[in-house]
Structure 1
Amino acid sequence: MHDIRAIKDDPAAFDAGLGKRGLAPQAATLLQLDEARRSRISEAQGLQTRRNEASKEIGKAKATKDEAAAQALMAEVAGLKDRMAVLDKDAAEAATALDQALAALPNLPADDVPAGEDEDGNVEQKRWGTPRAFAFAARDHADIGPALGLDFEAGARLSGARFTVLRGGAARLHRALGQFMLDRHTSENGYAETATPVMVRDEAMFGTGQLPKFAEDSFRTTDGRWLIPTAEVSLTNLVREQILAETALPIRLTALTQCFRSEAGAAGRDTRGLIRQHQFEKVELVSICTAEQAADEHERMTRAAEGILEALNLPYRRMLLCDGDMGFSARRTYDLEVWLPGQDRYREISSCSSFGEFQARRMDARYRPILAGVKGNTAFVHTLNGSGLAVGRTLVAVIENYQEEDGSVTVPDVLRPYMGGIDRIGALA
C-alpha cells in the first residue's frame, strides 16, 4: 500500500517508479481522488461549525421570543444536516475509491533494481558449485521418480492434474528435507519455529498483497477463508494491527507448511513432475524489522536459503530480479536457481524479497522507535520473506543431481540422520 502523502510530495517520482513496472502514470488520478475526499471533509467540517453556531442562535431567538428567527434558523440547521449527510457519503465513497486504487498498485522498485521487462532482464549475482559430470545421460525427475515412489497417476486419480502421491523412499526423503531445513533455520540461522493455520481470512491475504489483485491464484473455502499460497501470509500477519517495541526487532520466523496455489495462468507450464503443483510443502522465512535493518536482513535471509543448497551440495546461482519480473509486493528480490541436470538448466527454488513498508501499511503494523532514550512516534515496520526452501523442488533437485545409472538416488550426507542412516533410495519393492 502506498502513502498518499508521499505521492503528493513527489508525484513525478511515484509515476517514474510505476513506469519501471510498465504502468501508466497514476499520481494525478490518485491526488484528484484524495482532493475530492479532503474537500468534502473540509466542507462538512465548515458546515458543522455553522450548525453549532446556528443551534446556539436558535436558543437566543427563543429566549427573546423571536419565533420567526428561530424557525428560519431551524430550517437552516435541517438543511445543513442534509447537506452534511451528502458530503459524508461523498467523502466515504472518495476514500473507498482512493483505497481501492492504491491497493491495486504494485510496490515501487528499489533504486538498485535493474531495468527489464521479464526474466531476461534479471542479473546474475553469483554462482556456487559445479554441476556434476555424469558418466551416463542424466534424466528428468519425472522419468526417474515413478520407480522411486513419485506417483503422478495416483495423484491425478485422487485430485486431478498437478497433484502427486509420494510413497516409500521418495516420501521419506521429502520428509527428511523439510525437517532438515527447519532444524537448520532454527538452530543455526536464528529463526523461531512457528506453527500457523493454513486457512486465513480476507484481511490476512490483503495484508501481504495477495488480495484483491490475485484472488484467482488462490483457493477459497466455502465459508470464505483462503488456503494459504505460502506461510508468508500467516507469519507476516502475526504482527498486523500491532505496535511493537523497537527493542523486539528484528523478529525472525520460520514455518514448514502445506501451501496451495491454483496456478491460474500457468496452463501448459511444467505439466510434468513436481515443479508446479496445486499442493506442496515449503519452509518459509519471514523477518519483521526497522528500515535501517532491512538491507542486512535481506542479505541474511538469502544466505540462510543458500546455506541449505550448499549443505546439500546442490549447484545454484543467485539472480537479482529486474523491475519487470518482481512480485507485486516486492521492492527488491533475489531468486535462487538450482541446477537441474535432467533439464540442463537452472530453475527457481527460492525467492527472497524485501517489501519496505508496503505490506506493513496494508496490515497497519508499526513499531515505536526509541530516540536518544525517548520513545518517539510510531513508524511502519519493514517486512521480508523468502523460501528456505520449497521442499518439492528441492526433492526434484536431489533426485536429479544425485541420480545413479541404475535409477537409484544417493542420499546427501546431511540427510542421512533423518533417513535412519539410509544412504540410497531405490525402486519400490
Structure 2
Amino acid sequence: MGLRSVCRLMEEAQRSGDAALAECQLKLRESGVCEVVVKALQHHASDAVGVRHGVAAITLLALDNHTNRSALAAAGACQAVASVLRRCTADEATLQSAAASVTWLAQCSENCAGMVAGACEGLVKVLEMKIGNKELVLAALEAVQEVSSRSSECGTRLVAAGACAAVLRVLYASGDDTDRKAAALTAMTHLAETAASREFLSTPGACAAVLAALKAHPTHEPIQRDGVDLISKLADGSSARSARLLAAGVCEVLVEGLGRTWLRTPLIAEGALLATTNLFSTPPKGFDKYDALCRAVLRAMGAHRQDVDVQLSGLNTVEVLALIDAARAQLRARRCNALNKLKDSVVAHRGNAEVLAYFSHARFNLEYDPPATPVELFQHCCEGLWWCLSWHMVNFINGMLRSAVRAMRYE
C-alpha cells in the first residue's frame, strides 16, 4: 500500500467519524504501516508529493492515538518530520501538516528525544521564514506550546534555537489578528520556564508588546489570560524584571483589569492578583501609585467574594503590599478600609482554615507599625522577651499544677 493510498483510506475513515478512524488506525498499525510510512517518507525526502503524503499519513496515524504515537516514535517518525521542517523547502500545506504531526507526536513521552533531535530548530525556522502564512504560523505556535510543555530539555532546546525571538516577532507582526496574538502569548508563557527565556521576554520592547496586546483587546479572554500569566512568570523572583514591567506600564493594566475588565472572569482576576504579588514581593524603587492599585485589588476581591481561590490570592497580595510603607498607608486609609473588607472574605468562607490563616497573615502586616527609633526597637524587643518568658512561666505553672493534681489523686 502506497503513501497516497494510506492517506486516502484514513481521510475517508476520518470523515466517517472518530470510531471509524480509530478502527482504521488500529488495523494499519497491526499491519505494520507505521514503519512502512516512516521508511517511505525517508526514502522520498526529495520528492515533494511523497513528502506531502508521508507527513499527512503520520499526522493521521498519530491523531488522538497514543499507541500509534509510540509505534511511530520507535520507527523514527520524529526525526523524519523534523527533517522536513528543518529543510523548510516543502510547500506550505506540507509544512503545516508537519507542524501538526509534531503537536501530536510530542504528546508521547518516548518522542521527546526525537523532538530535541531537530524538530525544535525546524519549528523556529518555519516561524521565521513563513510568518506571512497565518494557518502555518498557528500550527507552528501550537507545536511550540506542546513541545515546550513536555520536558525541560525540549523547552531549553527551543529557547536555544531562537524560539523566543521568533514568537515575539509573530506578536509584533500580528496587528489586529487576535488569533495570532493569543497563540503567540500562549507560546511565550510556555517558553518562560527558564531564567534565560524570562530575561529575553522581559526586555523593554517585549514588555511593551505584551502590554499593548492586553490594552488593545480588553474583552478577549485568551489574550487577557495568557498575558496575565506571562506577566506573573516574568515577575516571579526577579526585582529587575519587575522593574522593567513597571516601567513599561504594567501597573496601569493591572489596575484597569482588576478594577473593571476582569470583574466577571475570576480565573483572570486570580492570575492578575498573583502577578501583583510577584511584582511587589520586592518593593520597587520610586513607585508611587499604590492608591489605585490597592483599591483595584480590593474591588476584585469584592467582585469574586464567593470564589475561594480569588480570595486566597487577594489576601496574599494584601499581605505582600502591606509590607511596603506607602501601600500599607493606603490600605489603612478610609477609602480602602482594607481590614474590614478582608473580614468579609473570612465571613464568606466561614470554616475555611486556609482563608483564616491567610487573613491572619494579612491582618498582622496591616496592623504592624515598625519601630521608628532605637528606643522603640528596644521596647519591642523587651516586650517580645517578656511575652516569651511569660509564656514559658505559664506553661511551667500549669505543669506543676497538673503534677500536683495527679499526686493528690493517687493519694
| Shared fold per TM-score greater than 0.5 | no
TM-score band, normalised by shorter chain? under 0.3
**Structure (1/2) with the larger helix percentage:** 2
**Structure (1/2) with the larger strand percentage:** 1
TM-score, length basis structure 2:
0.21
Highest RCO, 1 vs 2 (Cα 8 Å, sep ≥ 6): 1
